[in-house]
Amino acid sequence: MKAVLFPRFALELIIQYRQSEIYTPESGGMILGRIRGEYLDIAHVTEPGGHDFQSRFQFIRRDYGHHQVALDAWETSNSEVGYLGEWHTHPEDSPMPSSIDLAGWKKVIRDGHSPYCLFIIVGILSFYFCVGCKNLVGDVFFHEFEE
């Protein structure tokens, strides 16, 4: 995988969920897009829904709305845009995946239909990006963003 093409609108959407306040819960959603040769091309990210579980240190995607957005994207793109991975927040400046994150990502990769999956953790000051493929989870790059 050469690069991840991440549109500004999607980046701005997930940034708004940073846990910069003590009362802000973890948030997350799906990453939707397509594989274009050596690129992961992100088309959309879903936002937390009313039936998702959110606490300060945990996010569990339960809302059916995520699935419906993915189905709609699949249908309106002539079966090109599909599930590529997950994003969620952590209440730390420079996020790193927990053992729970890594176990969940390995399950997504093992059970998934895409040859690649993208996982993003949004921290207060930086992101953690990880692209995984069957039986392998590898760090791709770490990027700090400025306010």
Active site residues: 26
Distance from C-alpha of 64 to C-alpha of 145, rounded to nearest angstrom: 31
Strand partners, 30: 86
Distance from C-alpha of 32 to C-alpha of 48, rounded to nearest angstrom: 14
**What one-character-per-residue DSSP string does 47-80 give?**
---TTSEEETTEEE---HHHHHHHHHHHHHTTS-
